[in-house]
């Protein structure tokens, strides 16, 4: 028979720990080996109990879940940390994942979702709440070079700006109206985060668009 997955529950609310224990103890392949009410207790519990998976709250009084995750994984990289929290703001999500958390779930997750995340964790798979995944995707998009947000026409206009063309010259070369050129220029400045045509031209040269 396969050994059960040993789980440590970390949360500063007694009722949350009790609820999680009640949910999880009915699963034949999961064993709750212990609990901790604060991040400063976690490392000691891990040393003594050697859990496979930690369900980690983030907001705790003395040592928060992010710091506890860092400390645990620095000494026990084989352990898997599943964040289980009410918070999904950027200040919590990305530091927790950067600290090494395998999965990030909200406390609105169902018992079935938490159980599945635990099983996946021991296989090396991650589970990310849909709201958190959306933030990650948004951040990934924001990390792209700003000029990748430009349409093909805006890129053409930017290149001509970088070549020193006036609005009238751009309109003539691209067979579009002056008003349309002005709209494109305004969009380009906004998307690149620059204040004038000169800065836009500098940006284009620095990024080898010309």
pLDDT digits (tens, 9 = 90+) for 78-108: 999 999 988 777 677 888 888 899 999 999 8
Instruction: Please state the rounded mean pLDDT for residues 137-146.
Output: 66
Please report the pLDDT score of residue 39 as a whole number: 82
pLDDT digits (tens, 9 = 90+) for 171-192: 999 999 999 999 999 999 998 8
Instruction: Please state the rounded mean pLDDT for residues 1-7.
Output: 86
DSSP strand pairing (53-56 vs 80-85): parallel
The reported pTM is: 0.65
Domain ranges of the chain: 5-142, 146-206
Q: For domain 146-206, which architecture applies?
A: Orthogonal Bundle (1.10)
Q: Please tell me if the domain spanning 5-142 has the same topology as the one spanning 146-206.
A: no
Q: What are the strands, taking DSSP E only, across the chain?
A: 5-10, 30-36, 53-56, 80-85, 103-106
Task: Examine the pLDDT at 142 and tell me if it is beyond 60.
Answer: no
Is the CB of residue 53 less than 8 Å from the CB of residue 6?
Answer: yes
Please report the pLDDT score of residue 149 as a whole number: 85
CATH number corresponding to 5-142: 3.40.50.2300
């Amino acid at each position: 028979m396969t050994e059960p997955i040993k789980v440590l529950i970390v949360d500063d609310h007694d009722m949350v720990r009790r609820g999680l224990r009640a949910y999880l103890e009915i699963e034949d392949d999961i064993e709750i080996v212990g609990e901790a009410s604060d991040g400063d207790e976690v490392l000691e519990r891990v040393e003594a109990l050697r859990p496979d998976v930690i369900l980690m709250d983030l907001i705790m009084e003395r040592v928060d879940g992010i710091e506890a995750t860092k400390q645990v994984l620095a000494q026990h990289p084989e352990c898997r940390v599943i964040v289980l929290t009410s918070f999904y703001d950027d200040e919590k999500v990305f530091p927790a994942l950067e600290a090494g958390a395998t999965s990030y779930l909200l406390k609105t997750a169902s018992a079935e979702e938490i159980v599945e995340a635990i099983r996946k964790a021991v296989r090396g798979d991650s589970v990310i709440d849909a709201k958190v995944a959306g933030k990650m995707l948004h951040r990934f998009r924001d990390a792209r070079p700003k000029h990748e947000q430009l349409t093909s026409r805006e890129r053409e206009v930017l290149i001509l700006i970088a070549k020193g063309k006036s609005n009238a010259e751009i309109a003539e070369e691209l067979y579009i109206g002056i008003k349309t050129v002005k709209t494109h220029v305004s969009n380009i400045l906004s998307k690149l985060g620059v204040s004038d045509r000169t800065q836009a031209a500098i940006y284009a040269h620095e990024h080898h668009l010309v």
